[in-house]
Amino acid sequence: AQSVTQPDIHITVSEGASLELRCNYSYGATPYLFWYVQSPGQGLQLLLKYFSGDTLVQGIKGFEAEFKRSQSSFNLRKPSVHWSDAAEYFCAVATDYSGGGADGLTFGKGTHLIIQP
Amino acid sequence: NAGVTQTPKFQVLKTGQSMTLQCAQDMNHEYMSWYRQDPGMGLRLIHYSVGAGITDQGEVPNGYNVSRSTTEDFPLRLLSAAPSQTSVYFCASSYSPGGSTGELFFGEGSRLTVL
């Protein structure tokens, strides 16, 4: 069964510093991978996605992620964080529930990002 | 555009009561889904639909019913609420026929408390 592990429950970063959020997945074939962000009291918004091709994908808000098959990882990075980046971040992998192809997402438990001034 | 609209935003139920969480989208998306979010658990898929008249179960379907009579609406029904169903519920839709291979658009959530 597919699974996603986000090892860090909380991460604190100073404003202007670089950021890396870790994500490891378990999936037999080539995965479809996603990063979503959730601001307090809001729904989730897609930051970026990986389906195939270039292993370094660019997203919105200056985020990028790198797919590493050998490490089963899809880590999210940002070179310089802003106070507005404080939020909950979720990694997800497309999942086959019906046996007919990917039809839902399996999410990690999330990483809470705190930005220090 | 309204996007994905969920109602109500907050609800308190007593054990054994029934209720329906409403979800409507105005993007003409074929794929719609319901997730629940619990502290430290991330989001888990309850039910999903790939089009009107078609529904299927996700990871945690027990205690919930769904139907999809129109493209726009995908209500989630709790027939006999239990305290274990206290959670925040999110409806999400997508243009992609496969649902998970495209961007999911989420509603703002419905916070349900079962006493």
List b or e across B7-29, with b for residues whose CB sees 16 or more CB atoms inside 10 angstroms.
eeeebebeeeeeeebebbbeeeb
A25, two tokens: 């997945």
What residues in A contact B100, CB-CB < 8 Å? 32, 94-95, 102-105
Burial of A66 (0-12, 13-18, 19+ CB in 10 A): middle
| pLDDT digit string, tens, across residues A20-63 | 999 999 987 778 999 999 998 888 999 999 988 889 999 999 99
Interface of B with A (CB under 8 A): 4, 33, 35, 40-45, 48, 50, 56-59, 90, 92, 98-101, 103-104, 106-109
Averages of pLDDT over each 10 residues, chain B, 115 residues = 92 97 96 94 94 94 97 97 97 81 90 97
| pLDDT digit string, tens, across residues A73-102 | 999 999 999 999 999 999 999 988 877 777
CA B99, B22, B87 angle in degrees (round to 5)?
A: 80
CA distance A12 to A16: 12
